[in-house]
């Protein structure tokens, strides 16, 4: 096998790791947010969202955007091979 015909194993492994990390984030973060939303600190006495809830919603949203970017990068790499 010539060098040009060798598989790009490190690239494929990296792409798979990106997909695994994205899947993990897409499974874990929504469950975490559900727990945060049920927490007593999530709402004040009038039922309005507190900073505790707001901060966690923003953090989870950012984590999910990163997970989607990870998945896109992993899929792009695998599809380009």
Q: Examine residue 5 and state whether it is found in any structural domain, yes or no.
A: no
The total number of structural domains that make up the chain: 1
Mean pLDDT of 56-63: 98
Q: Examine residue 16 and state whether it is found in any structural domain, yes or no.
A: no
Q: Examine residue 54 and state whether it is found in any structural domain, yes or no.
A: yes
Q: Examine residue 71 and state whether it is found in any structural domain, yes or no.
A: yes
Domain span including residue 71: 50-81
Q: Would you state the torsion angle of the CA atoms of residues 14, 17, 22, 23, taken in this order, to the nearest 10 degrees?
A: 140
Residue 20 pLDDT: 98
36: nearest Cα among 61, 5, 1: 61
Q: Examine residue 9 and state whether it is found in any structural domain, yes or no.
A: no
Q: Examine residue 57 and state whether it is found in any structural domain, yes or no.
A: yes
Residue 6 pLDDT: 53
Q: Examine residue 25 and state whether it is found in any structural domain, yes or no.
A: no
Q: Contact at 8 Å (CB) between 49 and 42?
A: yes
Q: Examine residue 39 and state whether it is found in any structural domain, yes or no.
A: no
pTM across the whole model: 0.83
Residue 33 pLDDT: 98
Instruction: Report pLDDT digits (tens) over 3-48.
Output: 555 567 888 999 999 999 999 999 999 999 999 999 999 999 999 9
Q: Distance between CA atoms of 12 and 19, rounded to whole angstroms? A: 11
Residue pointed to by tokens 């970017």? 69
Residue 2 pLDDT: 53
């Amino acid at each position: 096998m010539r060098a040009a015909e060798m598989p790009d194993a490190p690239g494929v492994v990296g792409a798979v790791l990106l997909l695994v990390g994205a899947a993990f984030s897409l499974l874990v973060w929504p469950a975490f947010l559900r727990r945060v939303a049920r927490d007593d600190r999530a709402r004040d006495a009038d039922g309005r969202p507190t900073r505790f809830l707001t901060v966690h919603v923003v953090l989870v949203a950012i984590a999910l955007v990163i997970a989607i970017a990870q998945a896109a990068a992993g899929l792009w790499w695998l599809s380009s091979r």
